[in-house]
Structure 1
Amino acid sequence: MYSSLKKTMPTRESLAQHPWLRPVAHHLLNPQLWRLQRESVARGVAIGTFWAFVIPLGQTFVAAAHCTWWRGNIPAAAIMTMLTNPLTFGFWLWLAYPVGNMVLGMPVPAQALPDTDWAHSLQEVGGPVLLGMGIFGLGGAALGYLLVKLSWRLRVALRRHQSNSGV
């Protein structure tokens, strides 16, 4: 699995040459952004998760650019942006609508939207969907950050325990 994932992941050089990333390209080559360090990976997971839900296209490039500013791990961010992809984005939008309605205190309609023009339908669902996706982005980023920190700490504690017990 690691080898197939490594083949699909962009390299530092390919990201640095992308037109959207040219303003931060000199930062992309920083080795600190590519090392597996606890804080860097946690930040990368948070950044990638946030952008996966906030924008539908170009999340990987936006996440990579933000990793340069917030010193996040770029591969971790790129992997997390794959949470929402063309196959799953519809599901997340569908799930964001009732979440947004619930937060706004509006009832979720039991039936489909009335057959009106598409602009009116978009206005009706747009606010709750955007709010729901924002909640998923912020909540997922916070949860991802905390889970990476916790799992890293547990992994280190387990290794220390095994080395101390002579296993």
Structure 2
Amino acid sequence: MPRRLLQRYLPHPDALRRRRSLRFVSHLIGNPSLWMLTRRSVANAFSVGLFCALLPIPFQMLLAALGAWLVRCNLPLSIGLVWLTNPLTIPLIFYGNYRLGAWLLDIQVRQAPEHLSTRWIAEQLVEILPPLALGSLVASVVIAAWANLVVRLVWRWQVSRHWKARAWRRRRHPPAAREK
């Protein structure tokens, strides 16, 4: 069942509340609805985490934590999914978002120079930012909705499969046969 798999990897709320660095938010971390592993809470956590991960903003983890608190979905899963955008994947994801935004705005994609530098990016920021922002917002909304749907369907499929296996085991070994 998906719940057992997720519980194996997620931290325990008591362990986080005891950490000195998190004591100032211990009353928020202690909310049981932020730690439940239900189909709804996990699917919404995927939506919140992936939405925040694809936005080109700082403090994505803080935004994901706030989103998890507002939506009452699984907090550690929301925060963990933000790490989809890490130093290795950020250039590819944001370049894809930029290209999507440029396509939506019907503007020509800027070609990067042979030697990409922060100075070039700073000079081009005014022209890069609108397509990047639009592309990131559209990609975030679409992927968050898609992830929510996929998680709900996979969870439902797993539960249905588990029920069918349990019914098959019961038919194969009826309770009366087990008692003898």
Instruction: Establish whether TM, by shorter chain, passes 0.5.
Output: yes
Does the alignment pair 1:112 with 2:115? no
**Does structure 2 retain, via aligned residues, the 8 Å contact 1:16–1:26?**
no
Q: Compute the TM-score of the two structures, normalised by the length of structure 2.
A: 0.75
Q: Does residue 17 of structure 1 match 2:18? A: no
Distance in structure 2 (CA, Å) of the matches to 1:138 and 1:16? 32
| Deviation for aligned residue 1:161 | 1.1
Cα distance in 1 for residues equivalent to 2:6 and 2:154: 19
Kept after mapping to 2: 8 A contact 1:53/1:136? yes
Q: 1:20-39 alignment to 2 at 5 Å?
A: 22=25, 25-39=26-40
Q: Structure 1 pair 149/117, CA: closer, same or farther in 2 (3 Å)?
A: closer
Equivalent position SS for 2:54: helix
Deviations 1:115-162 (A, max 9, x none): x96554111111111111112211111111111111110001111111
Give the superposition deviation at 1:2: 7.9
156-165 or 51-60, which moves further after superposition? Answer: 51-60
2:151 equivalent in structure 1:
148
Distance 1:112 1:18, change over 3 A: farther
Q: Does 2:132 align with 1:163? A: no
TM-score (norm 1): 0.80
Aligned partners of 1:91 and 1:156: how far apart in 2? 35
Distance in 1 separating the partners of 2:84 and 2:156:
24
CA RMSD of aligned residues (A): 3.2
Deviations 1:90-124 (A, max 9, x none): 11111112111111122334x436xx965541111
Preserved contact between residue 16 and residue 28 of structure 1 (Cα < 8 Å): no
SS at match of 1:17: helix
Hey, what does 1:81 align to over in structure 2? 82
Indicate how the Cα distance of structure 1 residues 90 and 43 shifts in structure 2: closer, same or farther if over 3 A, else same.
same
Task: Extract unaligned runs of 5+ from structure 1.
Answer: none
| CA pair 112-58 structure 1, distance change in 2 beyond 3 A | closer
Distance 1:74 1:54 in 2: 18
Q: Distance in 1 between matches of 2:55 and 2:23?
A: 21
Q: Which residue of 1 aligns with 2:175?
A: none
Q: Give the aligned length.
A: 161
1:16-74 superposed Cα distances (whole Å, 9 cap, x missing partner): 8277xx4xx52321122112111111111111111111244322222112211210101
Q: Secondary structure at the match of 1:54?
A: coil
